[in-house]
Amino acid sequence: MTAQGNNLDPWYHHYADRTANLSASEVRALFAVASRPEVVSLAGGMPFVSALPQDRVGDTLDRVMRERGSVALQYGSGQGDPRLREQILEVMALEGIRGSADDVVVTTGSQHALELITKLFINPGDVVIAEGPSYVTAMVVFRSFQAQIEHADMDEFGLIPEALRRKIASLKADGKRIKFLYTIPTFSNPAGVTLTWERRLEILEICRSNDILVLEDNPYGLLYFDAPPPHALRSVDEDGVVYLGTFSKTLAPGFRVGWALAPHAIREKLILANEAAVLSPSSFSQLVISDYLATTDWKGQIDTFRGVYRERRDAMLQALDDYLPDLSWTVPNGGFYVWLTLPDRLDSKAMLPRAVTELVAYTPGTAFYADGSGKNKIRLSFCYPTPDFIREGIRRLTKVVNGELELLDTFAGTGQLDVVRQDLKYISPPPNIN
Amino acid sequence: MTAQGNNLDPWYHHYADRTANLSASEVRALFAVASRPEVVSLAGGMPFVSALPQDRVGDTLDRVMRERGSVALQYGSGQGDPRLREQILEVMALEGIRGSADDVVVTTGSQHALELITKLFINPGDVVIAEGPSYVTAMVVFRSFQAQIEHADMDEFGLIPEALRRKIASLKADGKRIKFLYTIPTFSNPAGVTLTWERRLEILEICRSNDILVLEDNPYGLLYFDAPPPHALRSVDEDGVVYLGTFSKTLAPGFRVGWALAPHAIREKLILANEAAVLSPSSFSQLVISDYLATTDWKGQIDTFRGVYRERRDAMLQALDDYLPDLSWTVPNGGFYVWLTLPDRLDSKAMLPRAVTELVAYTPGTAFYADGSGKNKIRLSFCYPTPDFIREGIRRLTKVVNGELELLDTFAGTGQLDVVRQDLKYISPPPNIN
C-alpha cells in the first residue's frame, strides 16, 4: 500500500495506489508568491488577457445570450459544438493541419485532453517519453496514472532524434512498454525552443517505426515573433499523432476550451472518456468562442498578442544581455518562455528563498524534469509582466544570482552552507508559500 | 490484454486496461433520437433552462465582463473562486449542511467531482456499492476506473439499510475491498424516491462501522414539490461523507459548475487531482454564477423551477393514472424522474424500436443497473417537455406497451418472437440512432 496521507486522515488506507503520485507541483507553490503585488513574477504562464478587446468579448457574450441562450445554458454533446469544431479546423489550418471536424473533440482546456488521453492509454508502469525539460503539469498527469516518465534530451533545435532513438532502444532492451512520446515541438514550455522541420520528419519516422504514438501539444504555435514556425507534426501524419490545441493563449484561459484532433478510433474513445468525466464541455464557453471567431478579426487579435509578447521577449533578452552577460539562455521565436542556465554550482531551487526576499519569482528547473535534473536551470516567463517589470525582474534576479555565488564562494567546503541556507530560509519565505 | 478496439485501429494494442470498460451508455444512444422534434422525449435529464430570466443572466454576464473581466478571462485557482465557495456554503445551508469554504472544491459540473473522487479512491477490482437502480454516468465513471459495482436494493423509502448490511457482509466474506457507497438519497436518479430521515441515520451508521466512505450526490435536493426533503447525509457526518452539489439544475448546466464538499484530507487531494485534470475550473463560469447568486433572487428562481417541475410531475402522474392504470410507478416529491414498472414479461430495451416508431423516447431500466436487472423498468423524465407533451408522450407510450403485450400474446412460445422483433427493428429505427 503506497497511498499518501497521514494519521489524521481517517481515509488514509483507502486511496488508490495512483494517488500516492499526486503531489503539489513546484510551480503551484510559486503561484502564492507570485500573486503578491510587490513581487515581479517571471514564474507562471498567465497570458496577458488585458490585450483583448474586452468590449468585443462583451458584445459576444451579449449576442450568444440573446441569440442562442437556451443552447448556451444547456448540456451539449460530449464531443463539442459542431460549428466550433469546424472553426477549430480553420485555426489548425494555419499550422498546416488538414483534418475532419469529426475527429475534433472539445475539452476543458487542452489540459483535460492530456488527462483523458493519459487515462485511455496508461497502465501502471507504462512509459511516456517526454522531452527533457518538459511541461510540469503534463508530467503531473502522467504520474497520476502511474506512468514512468523518461526524458530524451533536447538542444536549441528541439528534441534530438538520436537521443530519442537511444532512449527507445534502451527502454525496449529493458522490456518497457512505451505508450507515447509527449512533445511541445513549437516554442516549448519551458525551453522556448522549436523543433526544426527536418527533425520533425525524423522524429515522426522514429515513432512510426517503433509503434509509438505522438502526443503533440501546441499551445503556443500561433504566437510566433519572427518567421512562422514549421508546420505541426500532425500536418504530416494523421494516424500517428494526437494533436492538442487550446484557445487559452490566443483568446483567454478563463473559458477553459481546448481540443484534441485524434485518429478516428482514438477520437471515439476520447469522446466516451470526455462524457464520463464532464458529460459535456461547457456549452456556454464553446458558443462564446465560436461567436468570437465568427464575428471578430481573431487573426488580427493574434497579431496583437504576437506584438505584445515579442516586445516582452525583447525586453527580457536585452535585460539578460545587460545584467547577466556571462550566463547562457535560449532565444525563443515565440511562446512565453526563456530557459536560463546558471553556473553549474548554483541550485535554482535552493536559491528561491533569496529570490523571494529580493521580490522576484521564477520557476526552478527541477520542476521540468522527472529525474531531478535541471538544478542549475531556470524558466523565465515573459508573458505577463510589462517590459519595465521584466527588466526590473532580471535586475533583481541578478542580485540573487550574485548573492548566491558570493555565499558559495564564502562557505563552500566549510560544511556551513546548509546552516547558512537554513537561516536564510527562516528569514525570507513569506507566510503564503505553501 | 483486454483493451477494446478493432483491427482498423492501429493503436488497438496500446490502450490501458481500463479503456475496455468505456462504452457508450444506453442513454447516449437515446440523445440522438430524443433530439428529433417530432419525438416526445421522456428520456434525458435536461433541465428546463427557458424558465430562467435570460435578461438577468445577460446583465450578470455584462457586469462580470465590465467589473471583473481580467479575472474572468484568466486562469484561476485549482480549488475554485473564494467568493463562490463561500456562496456555495449558503446554498448547502438550505439542506442543513454546515461546512467551511476551505473544504469546498469547485469542479467542472459535479460529474467531474465524481470522476476525480473515483480516480483518487479506486484501484482495479475495488468495490463501489450503489443503489439499485443508480445514475448511469456515475457507473460509467466507476467502471472506467475498473471498479466492481455492486447494488443494494431500494424501495419507495430509498436505499434499504438491511439490504446494504447484507451486501457489505457478503462482499466482506468474499474478501472484497469496498471503497465507497454511492448514493443519491434525495429524489434519486432514476427512481425518484427519497431516503427517509431514520434510514439516513442508519445508513451512515452502517457505513461508519464498516469504514466505508459515503459519496452523497445531491443534484435535485432543492427541487422539492411538497415539503422539503430530509437534510443531507452530510449534515450529520462531516468526516465520513463526500458531498457533491451542482448549479446545473438550480441555474444552468451550460456553465459546468459543480462542487464537492470533502473531509479535509480528501479535499487536499481533490484539489491536486483537479489541477492535474483541468488546471483550474472556468473562472468565467464561476464568476458568472457568483455574480448571479449575489445579485439575483436565486431562491425565488428555485421556487420558479419547483413550480415548473411540480406541474410537469403532476401531468405525468395524471397521464399514467389515466392511460396505464394497471401499472405501478414511483411518486417523486421532487427532482426529474418517475420510475415505471412494466408487466414482468416486457423488456423495455427490446421495446425501444417500437417506441421510436411511435415517436416517444424513454430510458430502459437496464441502463441503471450494473448487473442486467431492470428489464421491465423504465425511467420517465418530466423535466423538459411541457405538460401537454408529457401527456401525449404517455399516450404514445401506452400504445407501445399495449402493442408489445399483443405481440407477446401472439408470438410467445412460437419461437417466432425474435424474427418478428428483428423485422420491427429493421423497419423502425431512425438513421441517427447510434
* Confidence label for B411 from pLDDT (cuts 50, 70 and 90): confident
The residue length of chain B stands at: 434
Residues B121 and B179 both lie in one domain: yes
More confident residue, B213 or B420: B213
The residue out of B295, B324, B344 marking a domain boundary is B295
Whether residues B11 and A263 touch (CB distance < 8 A) is answered with: yes
pLDDT at A23: 75
Q: Does A63 touch chain B (CB under 8 A)?
A: no
- Residues in chain A with CB shorter than 8 Å from the CB of B15 are 120-121, 269
pLDDT digits (tens, 9 = 90+) for B39-91: 999 998 999 999 999 899 999 999 999 999 999 999 999 999 999 999 999 99
What residue of B is the nearest CA neighbor of A257? B282
* Residue range A53-72, pLDDT digits in tens: 989 999 999 999 999 999 99
A–B interface: beta-carbon pairs under 8 A = 255
Has residue A178 got a pLDDT over 60?
Answer: yes
The complex scores an ipTM of: 0.94
The verdict on A146 and A206 lying in the same domain is yes
Instruction: Name the residue facing B285 among A46, A121, A285 (closest C-beta).
Output: A285
The answer for B 143-182 residues in CB contact with A (under 8 A) is 144-145, 179
- My answer on whether B290 and B381 are in the same domain is no
User: What is residue A314's predicted lDDT score, i.e. its pLDDT?
Assistant: 98
Mean pLDDT of chain A: 92
A245 part of a folded domain: yes
Average pLDDT over residues A321-344: 98
Chain A: give the shortest CA distance to residue B277, in Å.
Answer: 5
Domain count, chain A: 2
Q: Which of chain B's residues have a Cβ under 8 Å away from the Cβ of A265?
A: 5-6, 8-12
Let me know if residue A420 belongs to a domain: no
CATH number at residue B399: 3.90.1150.10
Q: A69: which chain B residues are within 8 Å (Cβ-Cβ)?
A: 49, 54, 57-58
User: Which of chain B's residues have a Cβ under 8 Å away from the Cβ of A263?
Assistant: 9-11
Is residue B422 in a domain?
Answer: no
Per residue, the 3-state secondary structure of chain B, as one string, reads CCCCCCCCCCCCCCCCHHHHHCCCCHHHHHHHHHCCCCCEECCCCCCCHHHCCHHHHHHHHHHHHHHHHHHHCCCCCCCCCHHHHHHHHHHHHCCCCCCCHHHEEEECHHHHHHHHHHHHHCCCCCEEEEEECCCHHHHHHHHHCCCEEEEEEEECCEECHHHHHHHHHHHHHCCCCEEEEEECCCCCCCCCCCCCHHHHHHHHHHHHHCCCEEEEECCCCCCECCCCCCCCHHHCCCCCEEEEEECCCCCCHHHCCEEEECCHHHHHHHHHHHHHHHCCCCHHHHHHHHHHHHHCCHHHHHHHHHHHHHHHHHHHHHHHHHHCCCCEECCCCECCEEEEECCCCCCCCCCHHHHHHCCEECEEHHHHCCCCCCCCEEEEECCCCCHHHHHHHHHHHHHHHHHHHHHHHHHCCCCCHHHHHHHHHHHCCCCCCC
Is B171 inside any structural domain? Answer: yes
pLDDT at A27 over 90: no
Whether A278 and B109 lie within 8 Å, measured CB to CB: yes
The alpha carbon of residue A252 is apart from the nearest alpha carbon of chain B, in Å, by: 5
B23 close contact with A: CB closer than 8 A: yes
Looking at every residue in chain B, the average pLDDT score rounds to 92
Same-domain pairing of B278 and B131: yes
A238 and A287 belong to one structural domain: yes
For chain A, give the percent of residues with pLDDT over 70: 91
A188 pLDDT tier (thresholds 50, 70, 90):
very high
B252:A73 CB<8 A: yes
B264-309 pLDDT, tens digit per residue, is 999 999 999 999 999 999 999 999 999 999 999 999 999 999 999 9
- B191 with B317, same domain: the answer is no
Give how far B128 is from chain A: nearest CA, Å.
12
Q: Last residue of a domain, which of A275, A295, A315?
A: A295
Give a yes or no: residue A350 inside a domain: yes
Q: Is residue A304 part of a domain?
A: yes
| Same domain for A60 and A40 | no
Question: Which residues in chain B are closer than 8 Å to A279, comparing Cβ atoms?
Answer: 109, 111, 137, 253, 256
Assess A79–B contact: CB distance below 8 Å, yes or no.
no
Residue at which a domain ends, from A264, A295, A326 = A295
Interface test with A, best of B57, B75, B105 (most A CBs within 10 A): B75
Q: Do B63 and B112 reside in the same domain of the chain?
A: yes
Helix (H) or strand (E) holding A356: helix A352-357
Q: Do B111 and A179 touch (CB under 8 A)?
A: no
Q: What is the mean pLDDT of residues B306-321?
A: 98
Q: Which three cell numbers stand for residue B304?
A: 420558479
The amino acid occupying position A205 is E
Q: In which domain, by residue range, is B376 found?
A: 19-51+300-408
- Chain A residues close to B122, C-beta within 8 Å: 16
CATH (domain of A284): 3.40.640.10
A positions 388-427 inside 8 Å of B (CB): none
* Smallest CA–CA distance from A285 into chain B, residue: B255
* Residue A395 covered by a domain: yes
Dump pLDDT digits (tens) for B280-289: 999 999 999 9
A209 shares its domain with A312: no
Give domain status of residue B415, yes or no: no
| B275 to A10: CB separation less than 8 angstroms, yes or no | no
Are A40 and A122 in a shared domain?
Answer: no
Is B352 found in the same domain as B245? no
Domain identity same for A325 and A286: no
B72 and A CB contact within 8 Å? yes
